Amino acid sequence: MDAVDILVRTLSKPVKRQNDEVQYHPRSDRHSKVACWGIMFDLLQTSGLLRAHVEAGKVAFGINHQMVDFVNDKRKDLDLVLCRPGSGVTSKRKPYTLASLAKKWGIELTEDQQARLDALPELGEAPVGHVLAALEAKACMTEHGKAGPRLYDELNSSHQIVHGASSQALAVGFCMVNAAEKFYSPTNRHNGPDANVHSQPHAMQKAIEAVSRLPRRSNSGDRGYDGLGIVVVDLVNDGVTPVKLVTDPPAPAVGTIFHYDSMLHRVAHEYDTSFRSI
């Protein structure tokens, strides 16, 4: 699976935001865009049925698509969705492809990853018809205790709205949790040049526990996530120190339901089962 490697490499490269050179900014959606792009890339490589659907022009993607809960009339923009192409036009600009989106979003690929992307059928942007899978990515980088309830509420509302719009759609959640003992927050200026200090691993454990309580579902009659992945990183956010993937406990272990690979394989299986007749 490539998404986690791509996320860590891409976020290691700082970007300019106002007067800061940072790898992460809470008011930017860079991290969620990169994570969702990587998930889409991995799904295309994992599901032969999805590749066949893309090659046949049956499936496209939408960016920041607003979904509406039919029952409660609640609305939410989802980062990326896989969909049946609808009618109309997305915008006045030329539609993106997965490949051109990587360039626009500054996604860092190895030569091998670029070669595999080039070999895949071209997945393109289109007006969203019926949503097949909706991807939502969130992050908890600092003040884990305060962020936990917010993180739960935001992710919980996503799957509710996805399945309120369509019980057949797959809701895919992804959460990045910071294991660094200190974090330079571009929005916490009252500390001056000092970093926020975290009591680890207690802090990240609280955030992981909050996300782990999110409902999951095993059939279309339930409400909950069809796939939910948690990735732990060490991100100081000083603009210099590379981001590192953390695999030691309490990060989800290989084979457990919240490990990224487990989430990806489950979603690919659910896609192959649910949409084989489209």
C-beta of residue 138 within 8 angstroms of C-beta of residue 192:
no
Q: Which helix (H) or strand (E) holds 128?
A: strand 128-140
Categorize the per-residue pLDDT at 186 as very low, low, confident or very high, splitting at 50, 70 and 90: confident
pLDDT confidence of residue 208: 96
Amino acid at 104: K
186 against 44, higher pLDDT: 44
Among 78-92, 144-158, 167-181, 224-238, the minimum mean pLDDT is found in 78-92
Is 191 a residue whose pLDDT tops 80? no
pLDDT confidence of residue 89: 64
Write down the pTM of the prediction: 0.94
Amino acid at 121: P
pLDDT confidence of residue 189: 56
Q: In 3-state terms, the chain is what percent helix, strand and coil (to 5)?
A: 35, 25, 40
Would you kindly state where each structural domain of the chain is located, as residue ranges?
3-274
pLDDT confidence of residue 100: 97
Identify the bridge partners of residue 17 per DSSP, sorted by sequence position: 20
Categorize the per-residue pLDDT at 187 as very low, low, confident or very high, splitting at 50, 70 and 90: confident
In whole angstroms, give the CA distance from residue 262 to residue 264: 6
In whole angstroms, give the CA distance from residue 194 to residue 215: 37
C-beta of residue 188 within 8 angstroms of C-beta of residue 196:
yes
Categorize the per-residue pLDDT at 92 as very low, low, confident or very high, splitting at 50, 70 and 90: confident
Q: pLDDT tens across 260-270, in order?
A: 999 999 999 99
Burial class of residue 133, CB neighbours in 10 A (0-12, 13-18, 19+): buried
First to last CA, the chain: 26
* Residue in the block written with tokens 């695999």: 247
Neighbours of 157 (CB within 10 A): 15
Alpha carbon 269 to chain centroid, angstroms: 18
Nearest to 219 by CA among 164, 274, 160: 274
Token reading at 38: 């990587």
Task: State the average pLDDT over residues 190-196.
Answer: 67
pLDDT confidence of residue 261: 98
